[in-house]
Chain A
Amino acid sequence: MLELTGLRRTFGDLVALDDVSFTVPEGTIVGFVGPNGAGKTTAMRIALGVLTPDAGEVRWRGEPVDAQMRRRFGYMPEERGLYPRMRVLDQLVYLARLHGLARSDARRRAEQTIEVLGVADRAKDRVEALSLGNQQRVQLASALVHEPDLLVLDEPFSGLDPVGVDVLSGVLRRQATNHGVPVVFSSHQLELVERLCDAVVLIDGGRIVAQGTIDGLRARRERRRFLVKVRGAGDGWYDSIPGVELTEATADGVVLELADDVDEQRVLDLARASGDVERFGPVRATLAELFREVVGA
């Protein structure tokens, strides 16, 4: 388990992180979500030790993280970086060996990793000769090549085509489920986060504003909304019900928000009384909606 506890970091007057704490348990994929400049990259850099916090600490399996543990982490920085003139396979073998793998293991793992990520046919090419999408795949390979104990990936999906997104999703899922590797990644693709992650951490302005499973966030944050379609009822049939407000009218019906003390069964009764109810059900908030609500944008 990776634990970040009470992290604080300032750059001059800017408070990049303010008392940031969250955990990434074994076998769990955690989505790290927040607007640009919220502090995601700073937190990840601190976790990887390329940045020191002003306060707080990072623990791995209960111990403060040191250089030896970090060598077993897999990291994809926000600013991508590889040797542009080095060949793909050579580069991955080199990085695997820096992570402590023996020569033969490093080579085998490098070959496996580019195979999985679909760039095996570019093994002998220089990185600079690859398309951006393929460079991204090699970058991911560099984070995975040494079979890390932990994965910290900053925007790993940006720049990938839909096939690449599927491949990477599969890789992360297997790392977490089959190998018990904790995975934390940041992304602005909230649908993807929703689909892939077991838990999310929402950060805004350097502070954690919400964290937990997506269902848990929904339960806590979700407004009570129902999509209702009543055939034969005039517009505004719900106007007379206290505590019910129209939030959206769509072709599929109207979205009504119910106040906490309103019983949805009573609304259903009134709907029936107004006409034929074709549709009546709760609206599940998407992560994007939860995000907007929490961030207040």
Chain B
Amino acid sequence: MSDEARHERVSEPTRVSEPRPTDRGAWRLVAARDFTVRLRDKGFIISTAITLTVLSTLILLGAYGGGDAPTYRLGVVRVTDEAITAIEEAGAGQGIEIFTVPFGDELVATASVRTGDLDALLLADGGLLGLDTVPAELAQIVRDAAARGRISAALDDAGVAPSQIEELLDRPGVEVRTLEPQDPNRDQNAGIAFVAVLLAYGQLFGYGVWVATGVIEEKASRVVEILLSTIRPRQLLAGKIAGIGLLGIVQLVFIATFAITLSLATGALELPGAAIGIALVVLAWFVMGFAFYAGLFAVSGSLVSRMEELQNAMVPINLIIFVSFFISIGALQDPGSTLATAASVLPFSSALAMPVRIALGSATAPQIVLSIVLLLAGTAALVPLSARIYSGAVLKTGSRVKLRDAWRSAASERTHPTTEG
């Protein structure tokens, strides 16, 4: 390297083409770096593989295992054939298959209940014996069958013709009608929505944490001082959020495409329309939700200097996302509840709650519009706040930075490290 000739060759004035005058486009360079570095990251590849494996398992289970009507094994001790037939018919009437297993001896039958071979045992006295509990569905069927037997016998005694008895008992009693009929695909959609909200939660949380750790990485390695002597904090922050967010979108699209394709191929899903629609809704709210949360994650990262301190700094925002996740899971059962409705409109929780309510057909158009407006407005309000605190904190190393100090020291565009020299 002390070779003088080489020095002279490379130190020829190689003035480069005129540089761009401002750093306005710098965020794109930052975004491209944050995107590609993480795309090649081993952790990213592994986590994608795990997600795909879990999803495939769920889909294959849905396609080939379970999913059929429930079946019960009911032991019977000295019960008449008519009664057995009545129980089996009552079950079949509700789409439930009941296998009856006759026993001569009550003790032997009880042992089978104990081993779990039987769901319940119908005794000669009409009692039902279970291990710790008897499935409510099964008990109801047995009860109905017994009642039907007694009514039938009483009518017979009263001289009612057997054909008439049958007609009386079998006539459909109550026809159910609804003012707002449920989507017949609601169960399937709820299943898709469950998977979708799980994914969206993982995505929001995981990529948010990535923003925070990305900020700390630059802070801890001190490269941030070089970056900020070159571009402004806002450019750095915007680029980081855009790059990581884009990776989140790409991964989400990839996973959704994979899952829907696999579901169609295995027959777990018959019509892709609903699933694609739900995936798009989740994606849209992920983009808006990520924009909303990412600034807060960046702030948590900028306030501390070491990874170990990050967990504490992220507690408030973790809590918000966690609670909205639980409300969203609850909304799968009751999407019209006041809590679910409020959560789907408020910007702190709508990213997870609204897609669920849309998937279940429970959200009204005004609610959807309000949700979008509030989420976008919330983001617009939060981003400048986050950017200012980030700018004020990101060059301060050492102990955790107080929010107020960060806010104050960012009064001007540039920032003040605490270390003096």
Residue numbers of A with Cβ under 8 A of B are 11, 14, 16, 37, 39-42, 45, 48-52, 67-68, 70-73, 75, 77-86, 94-95, 97-102, 105, 108-109, 112, 115-118, 142, 146-147, 154, 163, 166-167, 170-171, 174, 178-179
Contacts and interface: CB of A to CB of B under 8 A. Distances in A.
Nearest to A86: B37
A50 B396 CA distance: 11
Interface stretch (B221-229, B319-327, B338-346): B221-229
B276 to A, nearest CB: 37
Contacts of B395: 50
Contact of A68 (B7, B22, B415): B22
Nearest to A128: B221
A57 to B, nearest CB: 13
B421 A37 contact: yes
A42 B420 CA distance: 6
B10 interface: yes
B225 A116 contact: no
Instruction: Please report whether the interface of chain A is mostly helix, strand, loop or mixed according to DSSP.
Output: mixed
Instruction: Please report whether the interface of chain B is mostly helix, strand, loop or mixed according to DSSP.
Output: loop
Given A77-B226, A163-B2, A109 B14 contact: yes
B21 interface: yes
A81 B224 contact: yes
B176 interface: no
A98 B25 CA distance: 9
B414 A81 contact: no
B219 to A, nearest CB: 9
Contact of A167 (B1, B397, B419): B1
In order of increasing CB-CB distance, the 6 nearest A-B pairs are: A41-B421, A81-B222, A118-B1, A100-B19, A81-B223, A105-B16
Nearest to A70: B229
Nearest to A10: B420
26 contacts: A11-B418, A11-B420, A14-B420, A42-B421, A45-B421, A50-B225, A50-B414, A67-B23, A67-B231, A71-B230, A82-B223, A82-B226, A85-B37, A95-B230, A98-B26, A100-B21, A101-B17, A105-B16, A105-B17, A112-B10, A115-B10, A142-B226, A147-B15, A163-B2, A166-B2, A171-B11
Contact of B415 (A50, A101, A171): A50
A78 B29 contact: no
Contacts of B229: 48-50, 70, 73, 75, 77
Given A81-B222, A101-B16, A112-B10, A67 B232 contact: yes
Given A71-B23, A79-B222, A79-B225, A116 B29 contact: no
